[in-house]
Chains A and B, each alone.
Chain A
Amino acid sequence: DTEVTQTPKHLVMGMTNKKSLKCEQHMGHRAMYWYKQKAKKPPELMFVYSYEKLSINESVPSRFSPECPNSSLLNLHLHALQPEDSALYLCASSWTGANTEAFFGQGTRLTVV
């Protein structure tokens, strides 16, 4: 099973809303990632969790707040987003944080209105 499950698939939210993106994997992976992908651009790393601890934050604005409740789950809490935050948000997981292939979920298409 190489499945990473993301919910919801689509999300439309207003600039004053609070919402959360969810990601789940049951492969026993100990590293989990959030990437952001704008249209016709490659994915860009936002956060890395390694053994449930935040190990990399790529200077992401505080309106994005990651959370790793346990080794199988990764959340991304969203608050007071801007229209330019509209993008495809991809979750990924790997065995460890280096030198191992990462498996990606199908993404959440986020639109901020």
Chain B
Amino acid sequence: SQELEQSPQSLIVQEGKNLTINCTSSKTLYGLYWYKQKYGEGLIFLMMLQKGGEEKSHEKITAKLDEKKQQSSLHITASQPSHAGIYLCGADYNQGGKLIFGQGTELSVKP
């Protein structure tokens, strides 16, 4: 969707390295959701961000929403092979629960 741009499209990192995935919206977000997906499987919920400047962490994954609520980043510290998969950001534009997803970032972690 042109409303939501995700970058990079793919990422290959060495195990133990840090990485960042970005998600940029063309308009103000009511909420921003991060999901992880293994190919052909369902989406696993990671984090939800709603307030400008909000930051949440779970294990080695940290997500932030900027003050203007138009950009979010997902940062993985000391990546592991278990982090490999497709990361999707989903935007809530206050449309009755509809999520618009970015194109996804395919992450590979080399041992």
Contact = CB atoms under 8 A, between A and B. Distances in A.
Interface of A: 2, 4, 6, 31, 33, 41-45, 48, 50, 55-56, 58, 88, 90, 92, 94, 96-107, 109
B96 interface: yes
Interface string B49-92: 01000000000000000000000000000000000000010001
B103 interface: yes
B43 interface: yes
Contacts of B1: 42
B22 to A, nearest CB: 15
A106 B96 contact: no
Contacts, number: 71
Given A42-B88, A98-B92, A99-B30, A106 B42 contact: yes
A-B CB proximity, top 3 nearest = A97-B97, A42-B101, A104-B43
B98 A48 contact: yes
B45 A43 contact: no
Contact of B45 (A41, A101, A107): A101
Assign chain B's interface to a size class.
Answer: 20 to 34
B42 A105 contact: yes
B40 A88 contact: yes
A55 B42 CA distance: 23
B30 A102 contact: no
Contacts of B31: 99
B26 interface: no
